[in-house]
C-alpha cells in the first residue's frame, strides 16, 4: 500500500532527515515526495495540530522539546513502557521472547554506531509493545515514540551508554521470559530512567560547551 504524505513526512522526521528547527516548505516537500501540494498541505496542518511542527513567523518548522516537555515525556514513557513490559511478561509467546533475545544479540554489532543503535533500540521497544498484546497501549506508545523523534540527539551517543543499554535490555527480557511481571516493569522503568538521566547529562554538557 502506498504511503500518504503525512506518513512520509513523519517517517522523514523520525529518521532525522528533518531535525528540530528545520523549515518545511510545502512546494519542496511536494516535489521531494512526488505528490501534489494539497496532500502535503493537509499533512503539515495535521502535524502542526499534533505539535510535531511549530510556527516560526509564517513558516512551519520541526518542533523541539524544552526541558519541561522532555521531563513530562519521559514520565509518561516510563509508565507506559513499564506497563507494556508487565503485560508482555504475562502474555508474550515463547517465540516473541526468543525474538527479543535475538535482537539484543544482533544489536551488539551496532555498538560504536549511535544512530544505528538508536534505530535498533526503537525496534526492540516496539517489539515489547507488541508483546504486551494490548492494542490500546500500543497506540498510546506510538504517540509517545512519535514525540521522541523531536529530540535532536540520542542518549545512546553518550560514551559507554550503548553497552549499558543492551545489558538493561537483557535484564528486561530475562524478566519477561521468566513471567516476572513486577520485575519486567521495574527493569524497563529503570532503563527509561537511566536513558533520561543520560540525556540530561548530554544536554547539560552541550549547554556548557556553548557557553564556553
DSSP per position, 82-93: HHHHHHHHHH--
In order, the DSSP letters of 131-147 are: HTT-HHHHHHHHHHHHH
Full-model pTM: 0.84
Distance of CA 172 to the CA centre of its chain: 17
* pLDDT tens by residue, 63-93: 988 889 999 999 999 999 999 999 999 999 9
Report the distance separating Cα 95 and Cα 142, nearest Å.
23
Quick one: cell of 11?
517517517
* pLDDT tens by residue, 120-149: 999 999 999 999 999 999 999 998 988 888
Write down all domains in the chain, each with its CATH number in brackets: 5-62 (1.10.10.10), 67-211 (1.20.120.530)
- H/E run at residue 62: strand 59-62
Amino acid at each position: 500500500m502506498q504511503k500518504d504524505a503525512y506518513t512520509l513526512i513523519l517517517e522523514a522526521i523520525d529518521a532525522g532527515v528533518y531535525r528540530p528547527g528545520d523549515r518545511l516548505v510545502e512546494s519542496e516537500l511536494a516535489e521531494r515526495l512526488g505528490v501534489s501540494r494539497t496532500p502535503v498541505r493537509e499533512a503539515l496542518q495535521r502535524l502542526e495540530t499534533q505539535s510535531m511542527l511549530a510556527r516560526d513567523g509564517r513558516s512551519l518548522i520541526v518542533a523541539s522539546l524544552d526541558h519541561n516537555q522532555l521531563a513530562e515525556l519521559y514520565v509518561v514513557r516510563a509508565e507506559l513502557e513499564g506497563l507494556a513490559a508487565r503485560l508482555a511478561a504475562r502474555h508474550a509467546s515463547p517465540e516473541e521472547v526468543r525474538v527479543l533475545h535475538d535482537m539484543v544479540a544482533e544489536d551488539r554489532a551496532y555498538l560504536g554506531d549511535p544512530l544505528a543503535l538508536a534505530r535498533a533500540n526503537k525496534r526492540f521497544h516496539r517489539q515489547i509493545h507488541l508483546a504486551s498484546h494490548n492494542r490500546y497501549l500500543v497506540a498510546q506508545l506510538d504517540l509517545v515514540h512519535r514525540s521522541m523523534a523531536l529530540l535532536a540527539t540520542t542518549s545512546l551517543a553518550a560514551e559507554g551508554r550503548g553497552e549499558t543499554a543492551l545489558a538493561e535490555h537483557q535484564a528486561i527480557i530475562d524478566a519477561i521470559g521468566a513471567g516476572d511481571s513486577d520485575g519486567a516493569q521495574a527493569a524497563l522503568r529503570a532503563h527509561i530512567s537511566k536513558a533520561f538521566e543520560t540525556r540530561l547529562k548530554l544536554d547539560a554538557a552541550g549547554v556548557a560547551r556553548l557557553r564556553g
